[in-house]
Amino acid sequence: MAGPGLAESRPMLRRASLLLLLLPGFALGQTQTGTVTAFATSQGVIGLANRADCASTTSTATWAITTTGITLTAGDKWRLSTSSGACSSTVPTTFLNDVLATSTNQSIPGVFVQGMGTEGSVSCTGANDQPVNLCVYYLPGGTIPSNPLVFTGTFNFQTAIPPAPNLNSSSPGDAQLSINVTSGTETATERAVTGLTFTITCTPPAGGTARTATGNAGNIVCNGLINGTAYTVTGVARSPAGNLGAVSAQLGPSDATTPLPFVDFWTVYKLSNGVETGGCGTGGAGTVAPTLALLGLLLARRRRS
Both 200 and 277 in a single domain?
Answer: no
Per the document, the length of the chain is 305
**pLDDT at position 150 over 50:** yes
Any idea what the CATH number is for the domain that residue 175 is in?
Answer: 2.60.40.10
Which of 20-24, 124-128, 276-280 is modeled with the greatest confidence? 124-128
pLDDT tens digits for 261-296? 976 555 555 556 666 655 444 444 444 444 444 444
Residues 44 and 86 in one domain: yes
Residue 4 located in a structural domain: no
Give me the number of domains the chain comprises: 3
Better pLDDT: 150 or 274? 150
| 252 pLDDT above the threshold of 60 | yes
In a domain, residue 9? The reply is: no
Is residue 282 one of the residues assigned to a domain?
A: yes
Digit-coded pLDDT (tens) for 160-189: 999 999 999 999 999 999 999 999 999 888
- The stretch 203-232 carries a mean pLDDT of 95
> Domain ends where: 130, 158, 186?
158
Q: Is 22 part of a structural domain of the chain?
A: no
Is residue 213 one of the residues assigned to a domain?
yes
Last residue of a domain, one of 107, 134, 158: 158
Residue 194's pLDDT band, with cuts at 50, 70 and 90, is confident
Q: What is the largest CA-CA distance in the chain?
A: 122
Q: State pTM to two decimals.
A: 0.70
Can you give the residue range of the structural domain that contains 190? 166-257
Q: Tell me: do 233 and 270 sit in the same domain.
A: no
d(CA 34, CA 53): 27
